[in-house]
Structure 1
Amino acid sequence: MHVFLAGATGAVGRQLVPLLHRAGHRVTAASRSEGGVAWLREQGADAVRLDVLDRGATAEAVAAAAPDAIVHQLTALADGSLAENARIRREGTRSLVDAARRAGVPRIVAQSICWAYGPGDEPADETEALDTGAPEPRATTVDGVLALELAAAELPEAVVLRYGMLHGPGTWYEPGGLIEQRLRRGELAADGAVTSFLHVTDAARAAVAALYWPSGAVNIVDDEPAPARKWVPVLARALGVAAPEPSSDRPRWARGADGGLARTAYGWRPVEGSWRTSFERLGGPRAGS
């Protein structure tokens, strides 16, 4: 299959390019920077420099590539801006879907998130509605997710991967990343808010597999949804940062996600281990220094 990969030099995209090649796919990959284009060519991909917010350029790039499917891994997470990431979900997805429709590309696999569901007491499955009544600032995130998923569904074949919170190389959870900075500033609560996590390599594996899945949304998460009062101390200890005092407070939407559909219907399961395995590994080099 010929795949057009948008967001190819992000945390998931960098894992995804070699996995797509290994699976026998041809890859046309897009990056906004010359450095990104150079890296992609080193990986054996056909690379194009592209800002997907430029709708004309996106239409031209997709038409020129004439792929069988688009894999959408676009994010804007470097500075933690919810508004900018929501804009990419709205406008970037709109640009890709319009380009796909013009070029006759039938299939898209798009990155979404699993923490946009409405309030509840148990991990959410795919039958539950998104939290469209949420107040700001959460409304910005949910509205962006909804726009992404509705736009993707305009194509004949659309798989939406509702990823857990990504950890691993290139994410906020690496040493020196955004989460360590928040820990050091005392901005991270060790409360009852439940998170479902996902390693970036497992996220990339799911995207490759989803090229052959039927249309619909699928939660892609590890097997250990956890309240912050459990995972924050593990991460803090590994990073050598004092952990905040634990509490039981929980926003009712912070409930984690049920990954049963991916496992039972499609045979997908994580292989990189849970957040616990990944966070504990972060402490290894420091412990031996």
Structure 2
Amino acid sequence: MHVFVTGASGWIGSAVIPELVAAGHRVTGLARSDASAGAVQSSGADVVRGELDDLGVLRAGADAADAVVHLGFKHDFTRFAESGRTERAVLETFIDALDGSERPLLFAAGVAGITSGRAVTENDVNPMAGPDAPRGGGEELALSSVARGVRPVALRFAPSVHGDGDHGFVWALTQIAREKGTAAYVGDGSNRWAAVYRSDAARLVRLALEATAAATPDAPAPRVVHAVAEEGVATRDIAAAIGRGLGLPVTSIAPDDAADHFGWMARFFGADLPASSTFTRERLGWAPTGPTLLDDLATDSYFAASPR
């Protein structure tokens, strides 16, 4: 297949591209800078220059491809509403391009915001719908495109997609701990985060893409897959591992004080975000093999003195 990938030089995309190329797929990746373009080319993909706001470029990339894997997102949590509007516009563009073609549209989503009182499963409906919802209500919008002859798949990633070089949520927590002089958790720290190792997540994207492209009435395409290896790691254990790595004390922060201590991270680190991947594993034969989150935090990869 010829696959058009956004977020091609990002944390997940830069692992997905070699996975796809190694499996014999041709990949074209979106890149907004010379550095990103170089990284995409070095991973074996062709490059299209542009940004997520360049809807004409995105339309052309989808028109020329057999499938789209949309992994890009504007991760600016100070302008989250604007990021959501961009996400919705991007998905609308891809749906229009793929309309009636039965081509796959895989897109990054997450388990955060889906509450059920238990570990979230692939059958749980994302309640964030409509253009003003977080991420522009993109999951609900894209999954509805099956009625337009598109094959959408929500790639629900765990809150922590971890590994050497990670600069996401867990790495942000290490920087907050360094700044505050303590590795902290919220309340009693019993709330949990699902986690997955980066290469396991990339392999799942490939498996989901191939299953969707090959789907038949007897073997229908998945609609939601969970990139989750660990159902839930207690946040107090995450904080303890960060404390050991940095040689800092570990403390509890009262929920009312979490925003002052963690800033924008408070709403995520204070949330209970467990998730299951039972159906994903059964449907796609996916078996995570990478290290656990706490195994990763036992190495020095998260504790570099300078920001990455």
2:272 is equivalent to residue 254 of structure 1: yes
* Partner residue, 1:200: 198
Distance 1:88 1:256, change over 3 A: farther
Any gaps of 5 or more consecutive residues in structure 2? 212-220, 257-266
- Tell me whether 107-116 or 7-16 shows the greater mean CA deviation: 107-116
Query: What SS class does the counterpart of residue 244 from structure 1 fall into?
Result: strand
* Partner residue, 1:20: 20
* Partner residue, 1:171: 167
Q: Distance in 2 between matches of 1:153 and 1:244?
A: 50
Normalising by the residue count of structure 1, what TM-score does the alignment of the two structures yield? 0.81
* Partner residue, 1:267: 285
* Partner residue, 2:103: 106
Any gaps of 5 or more consecutive residues in structure 1? none
2:240 is equivalent to residue 233 of structure 1: yes
Distance 1:227 1:86, change over 3 A: farther
- Deviation per CA, 1:29-52, whole angstroms, max 9, x where unpaired? 111112211222233211110223
Q: Distance in 2 between matches of 1:188 and 1:90?
A: 35
* Partner residue, 1:118: 115
Query: What SS class does the counterpart of residue 245 from structure 1 fall into?
Result: strand
Q: Distance in 1 between matches of 2:145 and 2:167?
A: 26
* Partner residue, 2:217: none
Query: What SS class does the counterpart of residue 74 from structure 2 fall into?
Result: coil
Distance 1:44 1:226, change over 3 A: closer
Query: What SS class does the counterpart of residue 12 from structure 2 fall into?
Result: helix
* Partner residue, 1:223: 230
Instruction: State how 1:141-156 maps to structure 2 within 5 Å.
Output: 143=137, 145-147=139-141, 149-150=143-144, 154-156=148-150
CA contact (8 A) 2:155 2:227 kept: yes
How far does residue 99 in structure 1 lie from its aligned partner after superposition? Answer: 2.9
What is the aligned-residue RMSD (CA, Å)? Answer: 3.3
Distance 1:88 1:179, change over 3 A: farther
How far does residue 10 in structure 1 lie from its aligned partner after superposition? Answer: 0.5
Instruction: State how 1:34-45 maps to structure 2 within 5 Å.
Output: 34-45=34-45
Distance 1:44 1:124, change over 3 A: closer
Q: Distance in 1 between matches of 2:57 and 2:44?
A: 23
Q: Distance in 2 between matches of 1:91 and 1:106?
A: 19
| Aligned residue identity for 1:220 | A
How far does residue 150 in structure 1 lie from its aligned partner after superposition? Answer: 4.5
CA contact (8 A) 1:262 1:269 kept: no
How far does residue 13 in structure 1 lie from its aligned partner after superposition? Answer: 0.8
Q: Distance in 1 between matches of 2:236 and 2:228?
A: 19
List structure 1 segments (4+ residues) > 6 angstroms apart after TM superposition.
246-253, 283-286
Percent identity between the two aligned chains: 24
CA contact (8 A) 1:69 1:105 kept: no
2:177 is equivalent to residue 158 of structure 1: no
Q: Distance in 1 between matches of 2:230 and 2:77?
A: 28
Query: What SS class does the counterpart of residue 84 from structure 2 fall into?
Result: helix
* Partner residue, 2:56: 56
- Deviation per CA, 1:113-148, whole angstroms, max 9, x where unpaired? 01221241x211122232449xx9xx6358455445
Distance 1:247 1:125, change over 3 A: farther
CA contact (8 A) 1:29 1:40 kept: yes
Normalising by the residue count of structure 2, what TM-score does the alignment of the two structures yield? 0.77
Q: How many residues align?
A: 276
How far does residue 80 in structure 1 lie from its aligned partner after superposition? Answer: 7.0
Q: Distance in 2 between matches of 1:80 and 1:199?
A: 27
Q: Distance in 2 between matches of 1:43 and 1:229?
A: 37
